């Protein structure tokens, strides 16, 4: 089956040709994506999908399926950068199809998913899973160094504190520390 975009189908209609009805009613699947150091994750949000096809190439992905109502969904994405299509995979659940796309160059952040700087309306960043991972190594290294310093301070053996400044004689009567000690250690009175 030939896949036409909405614009292509409208062009056919404008010159008097008709496109098959299934091509006229094809829609894009809502797609969420997020970036990680080694992978780009995409989730095509289609509940109860059937006839799922995922074609992953080094520079693009083509996704198609039918939803529970039988409407064909079709997405084609030219990637921001080259990917390793051989080391990528997809997973289908009852609510979506998730693609784990391996980046060709790891630890390089993608500012967007698409090659062009135009964001389609059906494509959104998955902010529930998004994380700024750039600089994580520096933060992690700083935390490790801080932890190492704390361990060094704790493990350094020092002589025990001198206790020669402690007074072994009881405080004189009427002094503040004497009244505090009697208040603190006073026998509780019994309730009637």
Position 131 scores a pLDDT of 78
The C-alpha atoms of residue 83 and residue 58 are separated, in whole angstroms, by 5
Position 132 scores a pLDDT of 74
Angle of CA points 63, 100, 70, to nearest 5°: 30
Radius of gyration of the chain (CA): 34
Q: In Å, what is the CA distance from 100 to each residue of 33, 85, 104, 181?
A: 10, 10, 13, 69
Position 191 scores a pLDDT of 54
The tokens describing 25, both together, are 């009613």
Question: One digit per residue, pLDDT tens: the chain, 192 residues?
Answer: 345 555 565 565 555 555 555 555 679 999 999 999 999 999 999 999 999 999 999 999 999 999 999 999 999 999 999 999 999 999 998 899 999 999 999 999 999 999 999 899 999 999 888 877 665 666 656 666 776 676 667 666 677 777 777 766 766 666 655 445 445 555 555 555
The C-alpha atoms of residue 119 and residue 98 are separated, in whole angstroms, by 20
- The CATH number of 31-136 is 2.60.40.790
Position 2 scores a pLDDT of 47
The tokens describing 30, both together, are 């809502």
């Amino acid at each position: 089956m030939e896949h036409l975009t909405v614009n292509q189908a409208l062009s056919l209609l404008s010159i008097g040709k008709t496109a098959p009805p299934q091509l006229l009613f094809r829609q894009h699947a809502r797609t969420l994506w997020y970036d990680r150091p080694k992978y780009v994750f995409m989730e095509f949000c289609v509940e109860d999908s059937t006839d799922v096809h995922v074609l992953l190439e080094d520079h693009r992905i083509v996704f198609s399926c039918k939803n529970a109502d039988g409407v064909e969904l079709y997405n084609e994405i030219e990637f921001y950068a080259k990917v390793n299509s051989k080391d990528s995979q997809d997973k289908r659940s009852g609510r979506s199809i998730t693609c784990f796309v391996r980046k060709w160059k790891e630890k390089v952040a993608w500012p967007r998913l698409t090659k062009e700087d135009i964001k389609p309306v059906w494509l959104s960043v998955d902010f529930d899973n998004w994380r700024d991972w750039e600089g994580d190594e520096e933060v992690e290294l700083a935390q490790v160094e801080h932890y190492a310093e704390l361990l060094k301070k704790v493990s350094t053996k020092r002589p025990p504190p001198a206790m020669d400044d402690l007074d072994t004689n009881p405080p004189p009567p009427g002094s503040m520390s004497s009244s505090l000690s009697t208040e603190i250690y006073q026998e509780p009175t019994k309730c009637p």
